[in-house]
Amino acid sequence: MDSLSAENLERFADEQSTSCSREGVAGNGALMRLAPIPLFFYHSPYHAVLNAGESAILTHGDDRARDACRYYAALIVGALQG
How do residues 1-14 score in pLDDT, each as one tens digit?
555 577 766 766 66
In a domain, 62, yes or no: yes
In a domain, 3, yes or no: no
How do residues 48-63 score in pLDDT, each as one tens digit?
999 999 888 887 677 8
Q: In the chain, how many domains are there?
A: 1
In a domain, 8, yes or no: no
In a domain, 41, yes or no: yes
- Whether the model pTM is above 0.85: no
In a domain, 45, yes or no: yes
Which range, of 9-18, 23-32, 34-43, averages the lowest pLDDT?
9-18
Taking all residues of the chain, what is their mean pLDDT, rounded to a whole number?
80
Q: Which domain holds residue 36?
A: 21-81
In a domain, 7, yes or no: no
Which DSSP symbol is given to 28?
S
Is the model more confident about 21 or about 56?
56
% of the chain beyond a pLDDT of 70:
68
Q: Cβ(37)–Cβ(55) under 8 Å?
A: yes
In a domain, 35, yes or no: yes
